[in-house]
Structure 1
Amino acid sequence: MYLNTHTYYSLRYGTIDSKTLIKQAIDSHLEAIALTDINSTTAALDFVRLAQKNGLKPILGVDFRNNTSQKFIMIAQNDNGYFHINKYLSGFLHQANFKIPNRAKFLPNTYVIYPFQNDFFELESHEFIGVCPQDLNTLKFSKWKQYLHKLVILKTVTFLNKKGFNTHRLLRAIDNNTLLSKLPESEQGSETDIMLPIETLKSLYAEFPKLIENTQHILDTCSITIDITATVSKNQQTYTHNASLDFKLLKKLAYEGLHYRYKRIGRRVFNRLEKELSIIKEKGFVSYFLINWKILKYAQSKDYFYVGRGSGANSVVAYLLRITDVDPIELDLYFERFINLYRTNPPDFDIDFSWRDRDDIMHFIFKRFKHTALITVYNTFKYKASVRELGKVFGLPKSEIDKLSSGAFQVEQLDKLSKLVLIYSKYIQGFPNYLGIHAGGILISDKPIHNYVATFMPPKGFSTAMFDMVVAEDIGLYKFDILSQRGLGKIRETVDIIHYNNPELPPIDIHDIKRFKEDVRIKNMLRKAKAIGCFYVESPAMRMLLKKLEVDNYLGLVAASSVIRPGVAKSGMMREYIQRYRDPKRRKDAHPILLDIMPETYGVMVYQEDVIKVAHYFGGLNLGEADMLRRGMSGKFRSREEFLKVKNQFFENCKNKGHSSQLTTEIWRQIESFAGYAFAKGHSASYAVESYQSLFLKAYYPLEYMVATLNNGGGFYRAEYYVHEARMNGGVIHSVHINKSYYQNYIRGNDIYLGFMNLHSFESNNAQKLITERTKNGSFIDLDDFIDRVTISLEQLTILIKVNAFAFMQRNKRELLWEAYMKVNKVPTEEHVVTLFKSEKITFDTPELSAAQYEDAFDELQYIGFPLCNPFLLLKNPIENRLLAKDLLQHLNKIVTVYGYYVTAKKTPTSKGDLMYFGNFIDFEGDHIDTVHFPPIAKKHPLKGRGVYEITGKVIAEFDCVNIEVSYCEKLAIIQDPRYVDETKIITT
């Protein structure tokens, strides 16, 4: 009897999740129910799955509305009708400002229900009028009473109860950005939009039994039979439209790749290749490999850099097809992690492209493969954000909202409204707020995407499915991951810069990883952790780990890439691994079975496949159960029932094998701590390949590499630190220069000119105009020449002058500012027009003006974000103690005071929930100082952002890594901004 029900995927309107809606339907003794979310089919397939599981007949449709104004409801009679509804809805959702018409377009195999109104109009055979309970009295006096065969029950369900209705109103107020007290009734549903027991509902319509009959007829004649299981892949089934030809092509490509990848091809390679090909064919993954190959063949044709990673990196077929650059034979990668006969889903291939190239790759995929869509993510209401949103809706002052969101309050001291904010913020936590785009997930389906879900069109212009990867995988649609990464952009641009600045040099083969692995300079950089700017190895934590492990080889770096992950660290096994790595005697502490399973990592679980190995060999699980365990740990697994079953089986098997309860519990704790954080070994190996590429460039072309790093958005650190690193490597840093700078940063020899991209508040179109004019008509001679040739406002010109972009004129910039103020309009009115004769410039007697020492630094702080001078020079009280980072080992276990310029800090909660910091600073000479701030000190002496700090503490060392255990920390005052002090006190330069 219910043809119009909503879940909370009727965004900022509905308040019920699918599971609760189905439970309520069963409690109300329903046998069938139609889900018709507002302009959405996001919940449809999950709803079908849950309904069928609970013995309820699911029917699908859409409630088409303009905002809250209901135009009509469309209900699918069958799968074909559902396809047409999805396609019809998508046509609207692909428009920026769509408008639903008053009458629905005819779609095959669908019913249309219009809301009741007094105006009479002709209906087609598949069209009906829906009568709400509140319309029954009006119906008695309406012309529609003569057409009862065209009327059905329209009892809307949007919430469970009064609290649900209150929540609905709050969501509507958030959506309308208005106070709850000012929310119009037209923007909200009715308080009666709740589900009633079936008999109660029928009794309301007892006077019009024909409506009950008509409604039941719709329910009886509708049926959804979509295969929502993952037993059969819904991905594109063939590449060549012929499965046999597909396999022949895959085998041909693999064998052709042997000579490219291997100088010597042994029996081990052939055996592994044939084994993989056999299983890939048996599991039906041939087209999956070929589609990835085709995408990357296009990338190669465009000279795009890419990195293939994920579990697929364990495959020699992927290596031979150049999907990955990781040799699984060399690394002895665990084949069963990649693929086994129990595995139903295809292996993961995460393909990283430069952020500059990814959009073109996406365009190619959408053009080349017929049924393609991006995949969505559900952006949900987070608790703190909900507190702010609801605080505004209730009209609380900002100070009160800040207090509530920070948690700095006593509940018993709050007023009623503030308590309501907290109550409902918790209630809507986890509700979907809006649909976003998955970072890289693309669906390439065998059938049109609209068979499964509607699509919408985000600003990027790529059609996007309205469900997430979990729902997609539930029905057998597995995503291709095409990701954007700035690290590859850095590598590509560095190679380009080197070639441009040094055309006489031979081309760099950035893919010659074997040579890089043996390079002495790179080995030395790794040992000393001199890897700032290098992919995945530049963070303070990774820098210290490399030192502790004394890494100087590829396998060591592969291990480090996974050891650093939270799962290994959390389990306590990172420390254990370091100890066993450095001290062979400690390796005897490993359990013999674990040491036998994982000899390379000394019996410590480091990689994701180690979970499978331990579960299989130690816990006695078969490979299917072990893989289920791995997926359960990853957080992607929906059903916890099967996961718990596998857990119980693990403990039972260990008991039968004679393992002690204590040992089994400890091994399970280690497994559980991975919880989706550990990398597959092939994944780590792929990262290590990119690390080696960036390490090579940093080792031999450090300045070009740092410029490319800045141009590609940096990395772990802010831009200031990469400028510092360039200076430490011999670079001469210049501010923006109107004759030598470009939009991005530019290098010539050792001179690095900051680009216009670094200037805060400077408009990019002005930079483009300046560069275009300079390229066309030559360098600017002076300020007058610049003003004459470039149309620019006084405000924008002022920025250029203040950052010394006219320094080549060797004029005091205060004098230049005075001239600019006299000669330039505040707002430019028109572009310059070239004339035959130039008008004579008016000259002014510029007053003699002086500039203060370090005035440039404060202008740079304002417009670039950091000073180009040594920040220690800006201290109010110059420091005399020059204890440096390089001297700390001489003061081991002693209390020292050092001075450091703040770089970054990592906040980490302790087991008790208290916050502590791991700080990173640079000393006067630019070397690193690492600090540990335990909770009492972190609370008493908090870090307050960038600046120079006086740090007192005990020098400690572990595994050759020096830290200061901080007991006192204070940010030091800097000099007063000389631009705003009394002119008579200015120190001239």
Structure 2
Amino acid sequence: MYLNCHTYYSLRFGTFSEVALLQLAQEHHVRQLVLTDINNTSAALNFMRKAPEYGVKPILGIDFRNGVDQCFVGVAQNNEGFQELNTYLSHFLHQHIPIPERAPVFKNAFVVYPFEKVLLNEYDEFLLHEFIGISVRDLRRLPFSRLKNYTDKLVVQQPVTFRNKRDFNAHRLLRAIDNNVLLSKLDDDQVASEEEKMYPIANLAQVFSEYSFILENTQKLLDGCELFFDFSADKKTQNLRHYTGNASEDVALLKKLAEEGLPYRYPEVTQAVKDRMAKELDLIIQMDFVSYFLINWDIVSYAREQGFFYVGRGSGANSVVAYLLRITDVDPMDLDLYFERFINLYRANPPDFDIDFSWRDREHMTQYIFNRFNHVALVGTYVTFKERGVIRELGKVFGLPKEEIDALSAGQTNLKQLDTIAQLVLKYGRLIHGMPNYVSVHASGILISEGPLQQFSATFLPPKGFATVHFDMIAAEDVGLYKFDILAQRGLGKIKDTLGIVQYNQPEKFTFDIHDVKTFFKDPTINNLIKTAQCMGCFYVESPAMRMLLKKLEVDNYLGLVAASSIIRPGVAKSGMMREYILRHRNPGRAEEKGHPVLLSIMPETYGVMVYQEDVIKVAHHFADLDLGEADVLRRGMSGKFRSREEFEKVKDKFRSNCLAKGYAEALIDEVWHQVASFAGYAFAKGHSASYAVESYQSLFLRAYFPLEYMVAVLNNGGGFYSAEFYIHDARMLGATIHPPCVNQSVAANVIYGTHIYLGFMYLRDLEERVMQRIVNERVAQGRFLSLEDFLDRVPIAMEQLSILIRIDAFRFTGINKHELLWKAHFALAKGKRVEHPKLFKPKQPKFQIPKLHTTDLETAFEQWELLGFPLCSPFALLAEPAKNSNGQQHLQAYLNKHIDIYGYLVTVKNTKTHTGKRMHFATLLDCYGEVFDTVLFPPVAAKYSFRGKGIYRFYGKVVSEFGFLSIEVIKMQKQDYVPDPRYADMRAGKKALEDKKKDEERV
């Protein structure tokens, strides 16, 4: 009897989940129910999946509204009707236009107009599929309305939005947030009636007992609806089933491509390769994943045609067929990648292929996929109300001042001392915490389906213009839609750009193949960079944590880097096995002493320690005797991407019972389970880790042999883990001469000529993009600028923009002091902004007599600091008091287990907490020689001292070594002062004179 039910996916309106709605229906003995969220279908698939558990026949519809103004409710008679409703809604969501008040003629959907809307618009004719909805509230007015005579059109339309008063309060808060108004200013017409709740079915029937025909009409409508989605374990995939349009042709094409890839990948084909390929092909065909492979092949083939760099990773990188189709560059034979992680007969979903493109190329590739295939959409995701966001939103709703909101959000308040309003913010914040706030776009997922995606959901159009479904990746997998992951990363942009820079800067040395990674694996120069952690700017190996791990593990080869790429993940560290892995790696014999024989036999190359995702499957299968399907349930259940917790719990119990049956000690079972549980959701598949390591080696090759070109590419691709300042510093340490922007040499990005790097105009934060373009376009068209006057004749520019260029010394080629240039500029542009029009004749520039002016290095440094965000000189040259010592990273070994006094320029700091919740810091700094060193502030010290932004700090602490990695355990720390800005010396002197004069007067 309930045709108009809302969940909290009626965004900023509804108040509870689709599961809570089903629970409510069960409690009220409701056996049929229509889910009709407002202009949204996010909950539809899970509602359909879960309904049978609650004895409810699920029906789907949409509540079509403009804002809160209800136009009509659409109720799907069948799956075709749901597709009709989704297609109709999608049109308006894509076009961002109002929904008409009168519905179109749906072929497979009913339309219910609200009682009030029919009266207001004086509708008097209704089609066969159209009805008039009467709520409990409307029933009081029906006897006095002309509509009482429409006996065959009246149906029960009792909206369900709330369960209780608490929900209604949450609803009012959501409406105030949505309207961005104080709760006290919220208009009544923006709020639903408090009577929008569910009554027991017997009570509802009693209320309408005088109008039995309304009940009969409603029951007939509900009985006329039947929808079905297959959520079973053996469901058919809803992805595009045939790449070529024919199953046998798909199989023939896949086999042909694999055969053609053999000589490229394996110049000497062994029988082992042939056997592995045949085994994989048989399973791929048997599991009906052929089209999935071919679509991925199509995507990467197009990318290669366009000259785009990409990295194929994920569990699919464990596949020889993927390697032969060039979806991935990881050779699973070389790495002995675990076949069953990639695919097994128990696996229902296809293997993961995450394909990374340069951040510049990803949108192009997404557009290609939308153009290439018929039924494509991005996967949705839900942005929920988080704790701090809720406090901020409700703080505004309750009218708290910004300062109080900031303090409350940051948790910087004593809860016992909060006033009534602040306490209300916290109290009601709990009502909406975790609710969806809006539907967004998944970071990478694309759906390519057999039929229109409107079969499953309406779509909306985010700013970049790609249709996006309302549901997330979990709901997609539930119904048999498996996403293709197309990601963006800057590392690939760095590699691609470096190749272009090398071609123009050192063309004679461009004789290498960047894809010849097997040669790189054996290169001692590259491997030494890894061993010494000289990896600044290189993909996945440049962070302080990775640099530390590489040194501790003494990594100097590809396999070591593959392992390190997964060991660095949170789970391995959390389980304590990162430390144990390092100990076993550095101490021969420890693995046999500490490791269990079964675990050592399963994972000999990682010393019996679980490092990769497939290790979970191996341990579950070989150690606990779970079958491969159960083992994969275990892996997926811990990843947080698995829906069926009941199934996971069963497998978890079986893991323990099987181990006990095999006679393992309780302590061993607990230890192994702890390892599995603590890192399974975070660890990489080995093929995934290997893909990362391949890209790392490509980056390291370029850094080793073309370091300056590589650093320019790093900077032009937005840097990486560190800020631009430190990549510029690293380029200088590698032999570059760094120049500030120049109107005759620079472009928007950084450029290199030989060993000279000219910073791009992009670092001048207040310089307009159009000014940059004019400068470059004019210089390309008419040649270099000869003087400031020549520049002013050719480039229309406002005084404030010209001032930026002069102050950064972009006209230093003139040989004229920039103070003099500023005077000239002010005289030349005295009337303000230049008129932008073509100049037939060069205007005659007036001559002015300007006194001789000078600029100091100190002034230049502070000018750069203001305009670029950092000085180009050593920050140590700006100290107010010179450093009391010259200790640096090179001296740490001599101070091992002793105390050291050292100065450092802060590069980055990681603020973290111990397992007891106490704050501590890890900081990386540059010493006075430009070398990097590391410090740690344990909780007692962190309680006394904290980092106060960028700058130079003086440390006193103990030098310690952990597995050969040297760091300083800080005891005391003090931030150092810089010299005063000399540009404002006269101002400070004047202020001091006034203060002195005032004091003198007071004494008199």
Q: TM-score, with normalisation over the residues of structure 1?
A: 0.98
1:120 equivalent to 2:125? Answer no
Which residue of 155, 158, 161 corresponds with 2:161? 158
Compared CA separation, residues 821 and 203, structure 1 to 2 (3 A) = farther
- Give the Cα–Cα distance (whole angstroms) in 2 for the partners of residues 968 and 385 of structure 1: 36
1:942 equivalent to 2:937? Answer no
Matched letter for residue 431 of structure 2:
Y
- In the alignment, which residue of structure 2 is the partner of 1:87? 87
Q: What does 1:525-536 align with in structure 2 at a 5 Å threshold?
A: 525-536=529-540
- Give the Cα–Cα distance (whole angstroms) in 1 for the partners of residues 832 and 15 of structure 2: 51
The count of corresponding residues between Structure 1 and Structure 2 is 984
- Give the Cα–Cα distance (whole angstroms) in 2 for the partners of residues 663 and 410 of structure 1: 45
Matched letter for residue 122 of structure 2:
F
- In the alignment, which residue of structure 2 is the partner of 1:422? 426
User: Runs of 4+ in structure 1 displaced over 6 angstroms?
Assistant: 983-986
Q: Secondary structure of 1:483's match? A: strand
- In the alignment, which residue of structure 1 is the partner of 2:448? 444
Q: What does 1:923-934 align with in structure 2 at a 5 Å threshold?
A: 923-934=927-938
- Give the Cα–Cα distance (whole angstroms) in 2 for the partners of residues 868 and 519 of structure 1: 34
Q: Secondary structure of 2:903's match? A: strand
- Give the Cα–Cα distance (whole angstroms) in 1 for the partners of residues 346 and 830 of structure 2: 74
Q: What does 1:744-759 align with in structure 2 at a 5 Å threshold?
A: 744-759=749-764
Contact 1:374 1:443 in 2 (8 A): yes
- Give the Cα–Cα distance (whole angstroms) in 2 for the partners of residues 256 and 72 of structure 1: 58
Q: Superposition RMSD on alpha carbons, in Å?
A: 1.5
Q: Secondary structure of 1:34's match? A: strand
- In the alignment, which residue of structure 2 is the partner of 1:65? 65
Contact 2:502 2:510 in 1 (8 A): no
1:108 equivalent to 2:111? Answer no
Compared CA separation, residues 200 and 846, structure 1 to 2 (3 A) = farther
1:174 equivalent to 2:177? Answer yes
- In the alignment, which residue of structure 1 is the partner of 2:874? 870
- In the alignment, which residue of structure 1 is the partner of 2:805? 800
Contact 1:120 1:143 in 2 (8 A): no
Q: Secondary structure of 1:149's match? A: coil
Q: CA deviation at 1:790?
A: 1.6
- In the alignment, which residue of structure 1 is the partner of 2:999? none
Q: CA deviation at 1:853?
A: 4.0
Q: CA deviation at 1:891?
A: 0.7
Contact 1:812 1:849 in 2 (8 A): yes
Q: CA deviation at 1:985?
A: 6.9
Q: CA deviation at 1:418?
A: 0.9
- In the alignment, which residue of structure 2 is the partner of 1:38? 38
- Give the Cα–Cα distance (whole angstroms) in 2 for the partners of residues 581 and 171 of structure 1: 55
Q: What does 1:388-403 align with in structure 2 at a 5 Å threshold?
A: 388-403=392-407
Q: What does 1:826-841 align with in structure 2 at a 5 Å threshold?
A: 828=833, 830-835=835-840, 837-841=841-845
- In the alignment, which residue of structure 1 is the partner of 2:998? none
Matched letter for residue 527 of structure 1:
K
When structure 1 is superposed on structure 2, of 885-894 and 140-149 the one drifting more is 140-149
Q: CA deviation at 1:893?
A: 0.8
1:696 equivalent to 2:701? Answer yes
Which residue of 812, 816, 824 corresponds with 2:817? 812
Matched letter for residue 53 of structure 1:
E
Q: Please list every run of 5 or more consecutive structure 1 residues that lacks an aligned counterpart in the other structure.
A: none
Q: CA deviation at 1:58?
A: 0.8
- In the alignment, which residue of structure 1 is the partner of 2:290? 286
Which residue of 787, 791, 802 corresponds with 1:782? 787
1:2 equivalent to 2:6? Answer no
Contact 1:909 1:916 in 2 (8 A): yes
Q: Secondary structure of 2:439's match? A: strand
Q: CA deviation at 1:429?
A: 1.7
Q: CA deviation at 1:411?
A: 2.1
Contact 2:746 2:761 in 1 (8 A): yes
Deviations 1:511-535, CA, capped at 9 Å, x for gaps: 0101111112101111111110011
Contact 1:793 1:825 in 2 (8 A): no
When structure 1 is superposed on structure 2, of 174-183 and 471-480 the one drifting more is 174-183
Contact 1:36 1:73 in 2 (8 A): yes
Compared CA separation, residues 206 and 827, structure 1 to 2 (3 A) = farther
- Give the Cα–Cα distance (whole angstroms) in 2 for the partners of residues 820 and 212 of structure 1: 84
Deviations 1:493-527, CA, capped at 9 Å, x for gaps: 00010012223334431001011111121011111
- Give the Cα–Cα distance (whole angstroms) in 1 for the partners of residues 533 and 406 of structure 2: 42
Q: Please list every run of 5 or more consecutive structure 2 residues that lacks an aligned counterpart in the other structure.
A: 991-1004
When structure 1 is superposed on structure 2, of 784-793 and 598-607 the one drifting more is 784-793
Q: Secondary structure of 1:207's match? A: helix
- Give the Cα–Cα distance (whole angstroms) in 2 for the partners of residues 5 and 49 of structure 1: 17
Q: TM-score, with normalisation over the residues of structure 2?
A: 0.96
Q: What does 1:528-567 align with in structure 2 at a 5 Å threshold?
A: 528-567=532-571
Matched letter for residue 415 of structure 1:
D
Q: Secondary structure of 2:351's match? A: coil
Q: CA deviation at 1:984?
A: 9.6
- In the alignment, which residue of structure 2 is the partner of 1:760? 765
Matched letter for residue 483 of structure 2:
K
Q: What does 1:590-989 align with in structure 2 at a 5 Å threshold?
A: 590-824=595-829, 828=833, 830-835=835-840, 837-982=841-986
Q: What does 1:266-345 align with in structure 2 at a 5 Å threshold?
A: 266-345=270-349
Q: CA deviation at 1:808?
A: 1.6
Q: CA deviation at 1:140?
A: 2.1
Contact 1:229 1:476 in 2 (8 A): no
Contact 1:635 1:675 in 2 (8 A): no
- Give the Cα–Cα distance (whole angstroms) in 1 for the partners of residues 811 and 192 of structure 2: 63
Matched letter for residue 646 of structure 1:
V
- Give the Cα–Cα distance (whole angstroms) in 1 for the partners of residues 222 and 416 of structure 2: 51
Which residue of 213, 218, 222 corresponds with 2:216? 213
Deviations 1:307-361, CA, capped at 9 Å, x for gaps: 0000001110111111111111110001011111111110000000111111111
When structure 1 is superposed on structure 2, of 146-155 and 274-283 the one drifting more is 146-155
- Give the Cα–Cα distance (whole angstroms) in 1 for the partners of residues 38 and 987 of structure 2: 66
Q: Secondary structure of 2:144's match? A: coil
- Give the Cα–Cα distance (whole angstroms) in 2 for the partners of residues 108 and 875 of structure 1: 78
Compared CA separation, residues 384 and 826, structure 1 to 2 (3 A) = farther
Q: What does 1:558-577 align with in structure 2 at a 5 Å threshold?
A: 558-577=562-581
Query: Percent sequence identity over matched residues?
Result: 57
Matched letter for residue 476 of structure 1:
G
Which residue of 468, 471, 480 corresponds with 1:467? 471
Matched letter for residue 82 of structure 2:
Y
Contact 1:559 1:606 in 2 (8 A): yes
Contact 1:10 1:38 in 2 (8 A): yes
Q: CA deviation at 1:62?
A: 0.6
Compared CA separation, residues 500 and 609, structure 1 to 2 (3 A) = same
Compared CA separation, residues 392 and 826, structure 1 to 2 (3 A) = farther
Contact 1:443 1:478 in 2 (8 A): yes
Compared CA separation, residues 447 and 955, structure 1 to 2 (3 A) = same
1:253 equivalent to 2:257? Answer yes
- In the alignment, which residue of structure 1 is the partner of 2:382? 378
Q: Secondary structure of 1:504's match? A: helix
Q: Secondary structure of 2:476's match? A: helix
Q: Secondary structure of 2:298's match? A: helix
- Give the Cα–Cα distance (whole angstroms) in 2 for the partners of residues 565 and 521 of structure 1: 27
Q: CA deviation at 1:825?
A: 6.2
- Give the Cα–Cα distance (whole angstroms) in 2 for the partners of residues 826 and 877 of structure 1: 45
Q: CA deviation at 1:843?
A: 2.9
Compared CA separation, residues 911 and 984, structure 1 to 2 (3 A) = closer
Contact 1:307 1:353 in 2 (8 A): yes
Q: Secondary structure of 1:808's match? A: helix
- In the alignment, which residue of structure 1 is the partner of 2:1001? none
Compared CA separation, residues 826 and 460, structure 1 to 2 (3 A) = farther
Q: Secondary structure of 1:982's match? A: helix
Contact 2:387 2:433 in 1 (8 A): yes
Contact 2:828 2:845 in 1 (8 A): no
When structure 1 is superposed on structure 2, of 931-940 and 309-318 the one drifting more is 931-940
Q: CA deviation at 1:407?
A: 1.4
